[in-house]
Amino acid sequence: MNLNCLNKISSIFLMFLLILCSNLWAQTMPIGKDSLIMNGDPRITKLQQKYVELNKIKQSSSGYRVQIHFGNEREKAKEIKTKFLQAFPDIPAYDSYQSPNFRVRVGDYRTKLEANKYLKQISGAFPSSFIVNDNIKYPKLLFDEP
């Protein structure tokens, strides 16, 4: 084959590919503005809805709290929790019992840096407080239902 014949064949092949590709790229747009039609497996949508429902029930994740009391006297723990809530009404406080001790932990912080900021605020009133890993409640978002 001569070079001229190869050029003609390659030109025809190239034209054929361009016509084929232009048909592949063509899309029909819906009539409405900002419309989107998604075709997918309905099981995926069902799985996404289940994930959202489980997270609404769970309402907690790994994070940090500040422990302000640890001791074996229930009344002392309740007294410290009340004192804390009076001094810092915007920060949630949690008491728990782990035999034989009572703990009072405060706040729901996602990062240790955030917990450290609040530790500095409360360390004057509660000098023996320190940061601990804990399961924290998700903070209320503005669009959450009350």
Question: In the chain, what are the domain boundaries?
Answer: 58-137
Per-residue pLDDT of the chain (146 residues; tens, 9 = 90+): 555 665 677 777 777 666 666 655 545 555 566 666 777 788 888 888 888 787 766 677 788 999 998 988 889 999 999 999 998 888 889 988 888 889 999 988 888 998 999 899 888 888 888 999 888 876 665 555 55
- 135-143: Cβ within 8 A, 24+ apart: 135/60, 135/61, 135/62, 135/63, 136/60, 136/61, 136/62, 136/63, 136/64, 136/65, 136/107, 136/108, 136/109, 136/110, 137/59, 137/60, 137/92, 137/108, 138/59, 138/60, 138/61, 138/108, 139/108
0.75 exceeded by pTM:
no
Q: Is the peptide bond before 100 cis (omega within 30 degrees of 0)?
A: yes
CATH code reported for the domain at 58-137: 3.30.70.1070
119 and 107 in contact (C-beta within 8 Å)?
Answer: no
Distance CA 111, CA 102 (A): 25
